[in-house]
């Protein structure tokens, strides 16, 4: 099965040149996890798990010029066409920001004294 993705804005293919590369893209398969009941105080509180995966064969086309990664908007926009729902979404977003600000302020002021 052939699946094509354009990753030209993420990697420097100009240096390597065009061609077929086997095994050069291998996913990260080691993950660090913690039990839900553990308060993580150091890296020794984490366990390592390993997943299995395969490397993939990559074809780099002759057009290897560096691409510019297009910037995406960091904020979502309300695109609901029902006015009452769009207003509710916007109001909830405003309230959520206020709650996050309050939580951040509390943690900043009391973080050293918090225990789980």
Residue 44 lies in a domain: yes
Same-domain check for residues 56 and 96: no
The count of domains in the chain is: 2
Where in the sequence is the domain holding 48, given as residue range(s)? Answer: 1-71
Structure tokens at 83: 């006015």
pLDDT in tens, 63-113: 767 667 777 767 777 888 999 999 999 899 889 999 998 888 888 887 767
Residue 116 lies in a domain: no
Same-domain check for residues 61 and 101: no
pLDDT in tens, 7-51: 667 777 777 777 766 656 667 788 888 777 667 777 777 888 888
Backbone angles phi, psi at 27, to 5 degrees: -70, 155
Q: Is the pTM of this model over 0.85?
A: no
Q: Which value, in Å, is the radius of gyration of the alpha carbons in the chain?
A: 23
């Amino acid at each position: 099965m052939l699946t094509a993705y354009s990753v030209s804005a993420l990697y420097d293919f100009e240096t390597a040149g065009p061609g077929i590369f086997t095994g050069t893209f291998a996913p990260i398969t080691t993950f660090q996890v913690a039990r839900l009941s553990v308060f993580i105080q150091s890296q020794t509180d984490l366990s390592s798990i390993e997943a299995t995966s395969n490397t993939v064969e990559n074809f780099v086309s002759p057009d290897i010029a560096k691409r510019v990664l297009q910037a995406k908007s960091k904020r979502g926009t309300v695109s609901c066409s029902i006015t009452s729902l769009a207003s509710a979404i916007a109001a909830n977003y405003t309230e959520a920001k206020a709650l996050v600000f309050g939580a951040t302020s509390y943690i900043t002021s009391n973080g050293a004294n918090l225990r789980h």
